Amino acid sequence: MPPLAIRAYTATSAVGRGREALAVALRDSRSGLRRNDFGTAPLDCWIGRVDGLEDLPLPGPFSRWDSRNNRLAWLALNQDGIPEAIAAMIERHGADRVAVVVGTSTSSIGATEDAYANLDDGAFPADLARADVHTPHSLGEFVQHATGLRGPAITVATACSSSAKVFAQAARLIAAGLADAALVGGVDTLCGSVLFGFNSLQLVAAEPCRPFDAGRSGLSLGEAGGFAVLERAQPGDAGLQLRGYGESSDAHHMSSPHPDGLGAQLAMRDALARAGIDAGEVGYLNLHGTATPANDSIEAAAVARLFPDSLHASSTKGWTGHTLGAAGIVESVIALIALELGQLPGTLNSSAPDPACGPQIRFQPQRVDIDYAMNNSFGFGGNNCSLVFGRA
């Protein structure tokens, strides 16, 4: 595929606001997980919560979209030069030619849950009787209005692969001539649906998650938001680029992965092929690595089948928790940090490797310059996406 330049990129999660906070937390092995203090009667588990959202209502003109999720979108949108990069895209191409492609799993459903908990004679209470937050596209529509971008605007909701697939979708839109640039990203926030939903599937750990550890017992849920500004690469460009994407379906089960990781392998192979590189050229792979017993061993086996022993692969869920629809963008930002700084994260909280893990799965960080970084995001319904990033 023609490479896409990454003009700005950012992530905000439980470890802090913006890319620098994330890079420092990764370097210092400082986790953002804490005991669950979300909602009334919280489950006994650990979460990755973004501080301060309660006190950050959206500015007046955007109040009809006010929700925890859109607050985090706004917070994340205003970091790391994203507004300046958007302004530059509008200047260069016109607002009609810049697309908004964002991913989420639950969008603003936390606001819908709040409305149900506070019904006023069977109807939504006045402060939550705002249709703009009670629909999946609440995120895409808010971002579109908050940025003034007027190209195609869409919310991708394929569970935990959502904000990885936005890169693929934006690349297709730009290649098809429907846009010249795109703001991509994703936001997911803690809410009852995901905490009690994953609990109902018995996938939530009582302790902080330990990806790929022999004693892992499940995931820690988190919230995060992140964005990247993509533009068709120009001759003479220097800097980070999206080089490849691969998407696939497991065609196996709604909530458990294909036992042989066939879908995962297909997505990774497709991303490498589109990037035109061999598996051996990838320096860092951010794994989906949720820390549930089945998912990790299947992903580890799929990675071992494709990559040489020299690959440094890790899961960073121990820092942020599993941020669901935002995992794709947050972990793409981590892959880009690895590429930019040569700082390859280890796997926080994990110490005893599962025998299923090949030598690619690393628990310790490493400092080494690399040419390509990759990110895996896999979602419910067997929906997979892998991305390859490189440098011009």
Partner 1 sequence: MTPLLAHIEGIGFWTRGLPSWNAAVVHASAGTLVADAPSRPSPQLLPANERRRAPETVAVALEVAMAACHDAGREPSTLPSVFASTHGDLGITDYMCATLADEPRSLSPTRFHNSVHNAAAGYWTIGTGAMAAASAISAREASFAQGLLDALAHLANGDEAVLLVAYDGQASGPLARMAPSDGLLGGALVLSRQAAAGRPQLSVQLVQRHGDRDASGPLATLAAANAMAPMLPLFDLLARGNGSARVVAGPDHDLLVEVTGAEAAHG
| Residues carrying an active site annotation | 160, 288, 322
Whole-angstrom CA distances from 220 to 36, 177, 290, 341 are 10, 40, 8, 27
Closest CB 35 distance from partner 1, rounded Å: 18
By CB under 8 A, the count of residues binding partner 1 is 68
Judged by CB under 8 A, the chain residues 341 through 380 that form the site for partner 1 are: 379-380
Question: Which of these segments, 144-152, 208-216, 276-284, 357-365, binds partner 1 (CB under 8 A)?
Answer: 144-152
Q: Is 201 left (phi over 0), alpha (psi -120 to 50) or beta?
A: alpha
Closest CB 190 distance from partner 1, rounded Å: 13
Q: Does 93 bind partner 1 (CB under 8 A)?
A: no
Residue of the chain from 251, 309, 355, 367 that contacts partner 1 (CB under 8 A): 251
Residue of the chain from 96, 127, 278, 371 that contacts partner 1 (CB under 8 A): 96
Question: Which of these segments, 29-37, 133-141, 232-240, 303-311, binds partner 1 (CB under 8 A)?
Answer: 133-141
**How many C-alpha atoms does 26 have within 13 Å on its Cβ side?**
31
Closest CB 131 distance from partner 1, rounded Å: 5
The answer for residues whose C-beta is within 8 angstroms of residue 200's C-beta and 6 or more apart is none
Amino acid at 163: S
Judged by CB under 8 A, the chain residues 159 through 218 that form the site for partner 1 are: 159, 165, 168-169, 171-173, 175-178, 192-193, 196-201
Q: Does 299 bind partner 1 (CB under 8 A)?
A: no
Contacts 24+ apart (CB under 8 A), 15-24: 15/48, 15/319, 15/320, 17/75, 17/76, 17/79, 18/79, 18/80, 19/79, 19/80, 19/333, 19/337, 22/319, 22/330, 22/333, 22/334, 22/337, 23/337, 23/341, 23/343
CA distance 18 to 23: 9
Residue of the chain from 56, 249, 279, 366 that contacts partner 1 (CB under 8 A): 249
> For 5, which DSSP code?
E
Candidates 261, 259, 239, 231; CA nearest to 248 is 261
Placement of tokens 């588990």 in the chain: 45
Q: Which is nearer to partner 1, 155 or 241 (CB)?
A: 155
Q: Which is nearer to partner 1, 248 or 375 (CB)?
A: 248
Residue of the chain from 131, 234, 309, 355 that contacts partner 1 (CB under 8 A): 131
Residue of the chain from 13, 241, 248, 297 that contacts partner 1 (CB under 8 A): 248
Closest CB 153 distance from partner 1, rounded Å: 6
How many Å from the N-terminal Cα to the C-terminal Cα in the chain? 14
Contact in structure between 211 and 291 (CB atoms under 8 Å):
yes
Chain positions contacting partner 1, by CB under 8 A: 1, 41, 96, 105, 109, 112-113, 115-117, 119, 122-124, 129-131, 134-137, 140-141, 144, 150, 152-159, 165, 168-169, 171-173, 175-178, 192-193, 196-201, 247-255, 262-263, 266, 379-383
